[in-house]
Amino acid sequence: MQDDLDTIKTRILAATAAANSLESLERVRVEALGRKGRITALMKGLGAMDPETRKSAGAALNVLKDDVAAAIEARQEDLAGATLDARLMEEKVDVTLPVRAEGRGRVHPITQTIDEVIAIFGEMGFTVAEGPDIEDDWHNFTALNIPPEHPARQEHDTFYLPGMAGGHRRVLRTHTSPVQIRTMGEQKPPLRIIVPGRTYRCDYDATHSPMFHQVEGLVVDETTHMGHLKGCLIEFCRAYFGVEDLPVRFRPSYFPFTEPSAEVDIGCTRAGGAFRIGHGDDWLEILGCGMVHPKVLENCGIDAARYQGFAFGLGVERIAMLKYGIGDLRTFFESDLRWLRHYGFPALHIPSMVGGLNP
Ligand code: DAH
pLDDT of the chain, 359 residues: tens digit per residue: 677 888 988 999 888 989 888 899 999 999 989 899 898 988 888 888 888 888 888 888 888 899 888 989 999 998 889 888 888 988 888 889 888 887 788 999 999 999 999 999 999 999 999 999 999 999 999 999 998 888 878 777 999 999 887 888 899 999 999 999 999 999 999 999 999 999 999 989 888 899 999 999 999 999 999 999 999 999 999 999 999 999 999 999 999 999 999 999 999 998 887 888 998 889 999 999 999 999 999 999 999 999 999 999 999 999 999 999 898 899 999 999 999 999 999 986 544 443 334 33
**227/317 same-domain check:** yes
> Does residue 313 line the site of ligand 1, with CB under 6 A?
yes
End-to-end CA distance of the chain: 83
Alpha carbons 148 and 208: distance in angstroms, whole number? 25
Residue 288 has what pLDDT? 98
Instruction: Give buried/exposed letters for 74-107 (b at 16+ CB in 10 A, else e).
Output: ebbeebeeeeeeeeeeeeeeeeeeeeeeeeeebb
Domain contains 175: yes
Our mutation pick for probing the ligand 1 site, out of 184, 216, 318, counting the most ligand atoms within 8 A of Cβ, is: 216
**11/125 same-domain check:** no
**276/350 same-domain check:** yes
**244/343 same-domain check:** yes
**212/250 same-domain check:** yes
Alpha carbons 83 and 103: distance in angstroms, whole number? 37
Alpha carbons 50 and 44: distance in angstroms, whole number? 14
DSSP code of residue 121? H
Domain contains 101: no
Query: Of 41, 59, 90, which one is at a domain's C-terminal end?
Result: 90
Residue nearest (by alpha carbon) to ligand 1 atom 12:
312
3-class DSSP state for residue 298?
Answer: helix
Alpha carbons 328 and 160: distance in angstroms, whole number? 27
Find out whether 152 and 146 touch, Cβ atoms under 8 Å. yes
Burial (CB count within 10 angstroms: exposed 0-12, middle 13-18, buried 19+), residue 252 = exposed
Alpha carbons 170 and 133: distance in angstroms, whole number? 11
- Name beta bridge partners: 200: 211
Alpha carbons 115 and 120: distance in angstroms, whole number? 9
> Does residue 332 line the site of ligand 1, with CB under 6 A?
no
Q: Rounded to 10 degrees, what is the CA torsion of 208, 209, 215, 217?
A: 60
Q: Taking the complete model, does pTM exceed 0.75, yes or no? A: no
DSSP calls for 79-116? HHHHHHHHHHHHT---TTSPPPPPPPP-B-HHHHHHHH
> Does residue 175 line the site of ligand 1, with CB under 6 A?
yes
Residue 352 has what pLDDT? 41
CA of 179 to the centre of ligand 1 (A): 11
Domain contains 154: yes
CA of 47 to the centre of ligand 1 (A): 105
Domain contains 340: yes
Domain containing residue 218: 109-357
DSSP code of residue 1? -
Find out whether 159 and 275 touch, Cβ atoms under 8 Å. no
Residue 349 has what pLDDT? 58
Domain contains 99: no
**85/29 same-domain check:** yes
Residue 101 has what pLDDT? 81
> Does residue 263 line the site of ligand 1, with CB under 6 A?
no
Count structural domains, the chain. Answer: 2
Domain contains 234: yes
**114/226 same-domain check:** yes
Domain contains 352: yes
User: What CATH number is attached to the domain comprising 232?
Assistant: 3.30.930.10
**36/179 same-domain check:** no
Residue nearest (by alpha carbon) to ligand 1 atom 4:
175
**245/334 same-domain check:** yes
CA of 196 to the centre of ligand 1 (A): 13
Query: Of 58, 90, 122, which one is at a domain's C-terminal end?
Result: 90
